[in-house]
Structure 1
Amino acid sequence: MSDSPVMNSKGSPDRCRTVVVSGVPDVLPSSRMSDKLTIHFQSARSHGGDVEEVEYPTHLKGVAFVTFESWRDADKVVKCNQVLKDREFQEEYPLTVYMYTPEVALYAFADVDLSLYPDLSTLIASLRSTHGSVRIQPDLTKAGFISAEGPFSALRELRKDLLSRAPNRDISDKASSLFKASSPDKARQSAVDGTDIVKLWLDTHTYKYFQMVQRKDWDRCVSRYDVIAQAVSTGEVTEVELHGDKSVLSAAQTELQKLVAERQGTLRTQQIDCSSSDLATRTRLLQACERVQSIYKDVCYAPTDSYIEVIGPSVSSHLFCGMVKIVTDGARI
């Protein structure tokens, strides 16, 4: 599996062969869903072509990366409405497809109250047409609400668009709260009195990796500039606030951004499924992870209710998962 989407020899973004596919349903095991995605994007109905690789699952829930052999096929599929359907599916699943950019690492989610906007269905259709890299779905549990997900910068543009469309102040106030769920608590913002604040956003898995594997590098940067770093994770995005003297904040922010950029492009997240495991099997898995981590020191793991997240460089994380299976099955290392 390649570590990054492939560009043309000139690196031109309009020649990118990889697309982001959001809205992938969690109805099949990941390996079979990868096959379904391959079949779909090689079919005539998708207007695609030969698929070189499907990366699924990824560190983003319901999101896959599909790389075509030709950039022309990638270019065509993003221009068409994509609906995933198969005999095994009980329903059809609309997909949101757009070209890959590095901004996908800063992925965000938001619930948006549009109840005061007139003609919601027409508004949603217009927003989908204008903001192709944002997946917009009506919330079936709350009338007048939509859920939106996509690169953070794309959601920011969506917010601006909603503000510009607001016909009165009441609606404008509601639209301005688009990122309320992703914003830090106001009390926390003022936790350090007498200091200035700058912010940076990074993928939550990348933040976890720095805290668990490269904490010394992170702390060294923070302590060098005598700033305080406070973080809040909201889904796939972690917002980090740096509090400190104005004269050093910009330099600290730049150095942390550089540190993150050097690492996050190499990281991949694997999942070890334990959703159907009993307590004894789950315990063996966690014990195996602890043992294997002594070999792959550049990998970290974090258990959830249904799987174990494994975060690290592409090759190391893949080998880590394979070794965990071997150890769990009874082999010695």
Structure 2
Amino acid sequence: MATGPTAKSEKTIVVSGIPDGVVKDDIMADILMIHFQKAKNWGGDVEDVVYPTTIKGVAYIIFEDQEVAENVLKKDEHKLEDKRLGRYFPLKISLYTEHIFTCVSSVLDLSIFGDKYILEDLVKELQKHITDLSFSPLQSNGLISVQGSFPAIKSLKDNLLLRANSLSWKDKRGESKPDQRPNSRTQKHRLSMGPSNNVVHNLGKEEQVVVLDTDIYYYMKQFLYKESLAKYSVVSREVTDGEVTTIYLENSRASSDPRELERAKERIEDFSAKLHCSLRKERFSLDGNTKSKRQKYKQACEMVKAKFPKVLVIPYDTHVDVIGSSSDTYEFTQEVNRLVKAHFQKRFRR
């Protein structure tokens, strides 16, 4: 995926509705290539077919020419037909867009490691191990900005937690040498770190901590979240800070099995991983539009939303975010744009 659709997104379409298990994967890839090369399907030369993918029933078709990809998207109906399939299967076609996690920014305070590490060397080591991240210059107070995909940010968090816990255990066992530096931050270090399994003991209660991309959290909360917590007798509180949301899980009853907390955490993380692979985000920018046009976009989103029950619409002052599967978000945005365009064309003719 990294060298296929991502690098050539303008020439790539997403195909969903592919029957699973009817024929072998390599045969299905051939059938898809033949389908999208046919003139009757408004197709042309295909550079590559990415199938199977991490999403069941979904393939990525990369054309040699961007114009062919645009033509294929204009065709009203695509039916996958081949004698090896036994019958035809309707396909949903949409333009490829990047995963919901385009880029996440975070500011780290590495000053708590200042007593045990040379911070510049620590940053170089982190850069070496997590190459997907971009680091700003380290400030004198220990702050540093980091940008990258959400999984890479999460990997960085886990790396730093392991280092902090290792130092904490060494301190407890007396293995660390006495710190000779002035203004020691060792006490601050100990207070800020929890055990490596992310269980926090707070006033006799246990908590599990889950860190999610905020858009994933919003989508999960709308469609999956409450059922997951109710199943495990768990309650939660959430803290959202820009692109990152931290969830703190607690047992809803004092007599609840502590293992339910861990199971709830694992379930939420599993959901998050699956959504990370399948969700896309489209955005209607409202900046620069008249008040009337901004209002019309918001109204059109509300009207179209009923047709797409698995799409999450989040209105803001400056834009509207649309989150869902690749095919749903593409069709949603097309329908909204059509409604807005038709409305203003009608007004102009008057």
Per the normalisation by structure 2, the TM-score is 0.53
Specify whether residues 174 and 277 from structure 1 end up closer, same or farther in structure 2 by C-alpha distance, changes over 3 A only: farther
**Is 1:198 matched up with 2:219?**
no
Q: Partners in 1 of 2:159 and 2:329 — Cα distance?
A: 35
The offset of 1:164, in angstroms, is 8.3
Deviation larger for 235-244 or 131-140? 131-140
Are the equivalent residues in 1 in contact too, given 2:100–2:276 (CA < 8 A)?
no
Q: Partners in 2 of 1:124 and 1:247 — Cα distance?
A: 36
Per the normalisation by structure 1, the TM-score is 0.55
**Alignment match, 2:107:** 110
User: 282, 289, 292: which one pairs with 1:280?
Assistant: 292
**Alignment match, 2:306:** 294
**Alignment match, 2:153:** 151
Q: Partners in 1 of 2:191 and 2:118 — Cα distance?
A: 20
User: 223, 228, 232: which one pairs with 1:221?
Assistant: 228
Q: Partners in 2 of 1:313 and 1:280 — Cα distance?
A: 29
Are the equivalent residues in 2 in contact too, given 1:159–1:176 (CA < 8 A)?
no
The offset of 1:274, in angstroms, is 1.4
The offset of 1:224, in angstroms, is 2.6
Question: 5+ residue gaps in structure 2?
Answer: 1-12, 16-48, 55-94, 168-175, 195-199, 345-350
For residues 63-109 of structure 1, the C-alpha deviation after alignment (integer angstroms, 9 at most, x for no partner) is 3xxxxxxxxxxxxxxxxxxxxxxxxxxxxxxxxxxxxxxxxxxx662
**Is 1:59 matched up with 2:57?**
no
Q: Partners in 1 of 2:14 and 2:269 — Cα distance?
A: 24
**Alignment match, 1:43:** none
Indicate the structure (1 or 2) with the bigger Cα radius of gyration.
Answer: 2
For residues 32-54 of structure 1, the C-alpha deviation after alignment (integer angstroms, 9 at most, x for no partner) is xxxxxxxxxxxxxxxxxxxxx99
Are the equivalent residues in 1 in contact too, given 2:285–2:320 (CA < 8 A)?
yes
Are the equivalent residues in 1 in contact too, given 2:279–2:324 (CA < 8 A)?
yes
Are the equivalent residues in 1 in contact too, given 2:108–2:145 (CA < 8 A)?
yes
Identity of aligned residues (%): 20
Aligned length: 233
Amino acid paired to 1:290? E
Are the equivalent residues in 1 in contact too, given 2:214–2:243 (CA < 8 A)?
yes
User: 271, 283, 290: which one pairs with 1:271?
Assistant: 283
Amino acid paired to 2:127? R
Specify whether residues 8 and 299 from structure 1 end up closer, same or farther in structure 2 by C-alpha distance, changes over 3 A only: closer
The offset of 1:155, in angstroms, is 3.2
The offset of 1:220, in angstroms, is 2.4
**Is 1:232 matched up with 2:249?**
no
Specify whether residues 173 and 195 from structure 1 end up closer, same or farther in structure 2 by C-alpha distance, changes over 3 A only: closer
The offset of 1:329, in angstroms, is 1.5
For residues 227-266 of structure 1, the C-alpha deviation after alignment (integer angstroms, 9 at most, x for no partner) is 2122222233322222112153233333334444444421
Specify whether residues 257 and 324 from structure 1 end up closer, same or farther in structure 2 by C-alpha distance, changes over 3 A only: same
Alignment of 1:25-44 (within 5 A): none
Specify whether residues 157 and 139 from structure 1 end up closer, same or farther in structure 2 by C-alpha distance, changes over 3 A only: same
Question: 5+ residue gaps in structure 1?
Answer: 12-52, 64-106, 181-185
The offset of 1:272, in angstroms, is 1.2
Q: Partners in 2 of 1:144 and 1:231 — Cα distance?
A: 27
User: 249, 260, 276: which one pairs with 2:261?
Assistant: 249
**Alignment match, 2:85:** none
**Alignment match, 1:317:** 329
Are the equivalent residues in 1 in contact too, given 2:229–2:235 (CA < 8 A)?
yes
For residues 130-184 of structure 1, the C-alpha deviation after alignment (integer angstroms, 9 at most, x for no partner) is 44233210268x865311244212233246558989994735567779999xxxx
User: 195, 216, 221: which one pairs with 1:211?
Assistant: 221
Specify whether residues 136 and 157 from structure 1 end up closer, same or farther in structure 2 by C-alpha distance, changes over 3 A only: same
Q: Partners in 2 of 1:259 and 1:171 — Cα distance?
A: 38
